[in-house]
Amino acid sequence: ETGVTQTPRHLVMGMTNKKSLKCEQHLGHNAMYWYKQSAKKPLELMFVYNFKEQTENNSVPSRFSPECPNSSHLFLHLHTLQPEDSALYLCASSQGRTDGYTFGSGTRLTVV
């Protein structure tokens, strides 16, 4: 257990479905992130939240919609995804610039 909990661990969804990924941290960190990890590609930063405010949106398609209701919870709402969106989605949190990130175990998403 890392202190960052992601649910579900695995998700299979059709292209017309709507689903949400959840991330929770109780480390007292003030920043939370969504990353996409695909095979043979660098980790792709998707969204950054600092103190619940979205500070970065890394040109992510609108079919991915983040939500950060408080500094401990982060969601990623998914709708009308494409098969190429299949990947491991990682949530991370951090306290400050000089701190490292604490990662969750990820959600393995398969779009069929």
Partner 1 sequence: AQSVSQHNHHVILSEAASLELGCNYSYGGTVNLFWYVQYPGQHLQLLLKYFSGDPLVKGIKGFEAEFIKSKFSFNLRKPSVQWSDTAEYFCAVNAGASGGSYIPTFGRGTSLIVHP
Q: Which residues bind partner 1 (CB under 8 A)?
A: 2, 31, 33, 35, 41-43, 45, 48, 50, 55-56, 90, 92, 94, 97-106
CA separation (Å) from 84 to 72, 73, 108, 110?
29, 26, 13, 9
Backbone angles phi, psi at 17, to 5 degrees: -75, 165
Q: Could you tell me the smallest distance in angstroms from the CB atom of residue 82 to partner 1? A: 23
Q: Residue 33 Cβ, how far from partner 1 at the closest point, in Å?
A: 7
Q: Write the DSSP symbol of residue 39.
A: T
Assign 34 to helix, strand or coil.
Answer: strand
Comparing CB distances to partner 1, the nearer of 80 and 88 is 88
Residue 18 or 58 having the CB closest to partner 1: 58
Could you tell me which residues come within 8 angstroms of residue 59 by beta carbon, excluding any fewer than 6 positions away?
Answer: none
Q: How far is the CB of 93 from partner 1 (least distance, A)?
A: 11
Closer CB to partner 1, 42 or 69, in the complex: 42
